[in-house]
Amino acid sequence: MSCPLQTEETDLLLDYSAGRLDAVRAAALAHHMETCPDCASFRMEQKTVWDALDAWEPAPVSMDFNRRLWQRIEAAAAVPWYQSLAESLRFANWKPVVPLTAAILVIAAGFLLDHPRAKNNPAPGVSVTEANQVEQTLDDIQLLDQLDAVIPAGAVKSKSM
């Protein structure tokens, strides 16, 4: 058997230490470790870790865990959809959203700076005041024409002299 440490098959040593290696490979590895001090040392250290982790027994579960869960399930069924959505978002990890939002804002700002909005050029048009003035002028011209027609040019000249 080739050395697991040299062939980067350390999972074999982990599995051996955990007692999860099949009998054939376990026997081969045990035989190899008789002549490989590195693997033997690895296995001994790993067993130490394994035994130490065994010491960590978890705390017992609260007696009313199930009751509280069923209460939450019943309460969840009664709340409106938007509240249950907010509740589920409570446990979401928002940290990745911050840089993403910042990146979107920077891109949007860059786009706006690069493509400034066209200035509001008002469409050529005539204001109400201007229209009234033009109409007034046309009326005046028409009135003068009518006066010219009624009063002969000579009469106007003799009066003025």
Partner 1 sequence: MVQGVNTIVGAAPALDLDAQLMLRVRDGDEHSFGVLLEKHRNPVIHFVYRMVQDRAIAEELSQEVFLRVYRSRETYEPTARFTTWLFRIATHLALNWLRDGRKERGHQRLDATRDLEKDGEMPAREVSDRKPSVEQRMVYETTLREVREAIALLPEKQRAAVLMHKYEEMDYSQIANVLECSESAVKSLLFRAYESLRARLAHMVTGETR
59 — alpha (psi -120 to 50), left (phi > 0) or beta?
Answer: beta
Six token digits for residue 113? 């700076």
* Closest distance to partner 1 from the beta carbon of 105 (Å): 23
Which residue is listed with tokens 């027994």? 57
The correct pick among 6, 25, 31, 66 for binding partner 1 (CB under 8 A) is 66
> Taking contact as CB under 8 A, which single stretch among the options 91-99, 123-131, 139-147, 150-158 is the one that binds partner 1?
91-99
Q: How far is CA 160 from CA 85, 90, 146, 152, in A?
A: 95, 98, 20, 13
Residue (79 or 107) nearer to partner 1, CB: 79
- Per rule CB under 8 A, is residue 153 in the interface with partner 1? no
- Per rule CB under 8 A, is residue 82 in the interface with partner 1? no
> Taking contact as CB under 8 A, which single stretch among the options 21-29, 58-66, 110-118, 145-153 is the one that binds partner 1?
58-66
Rounded-to-integer distance, Cα 49 and Cα 59, Å: 21
Q: Indicate the length of the chain as a whole number.
A: 161
- Which residues does 18 contact at the CB level (< 8 Å), separation at least 6? 50
- Per rule CB under 8 A, is residue 76 in the interface with partner 1? yes
29 CB burial (10 A radius; 0-12, 13-18, 19+): buried
Residue (56 or 111) nearer to partner 1, CB: 56
Residue (96 or 122) nearer to partner 1, CB: 96
- Per rule CB under 8 A, is residue 136 in the interface with partner 1? no
- By CB under 8 A, name the binding residues for partner 1: 10-11, 14, 18, 20, 44-53, 55-62, 65-66, 68-69, 72-73, 76, 84, 88, 91-95
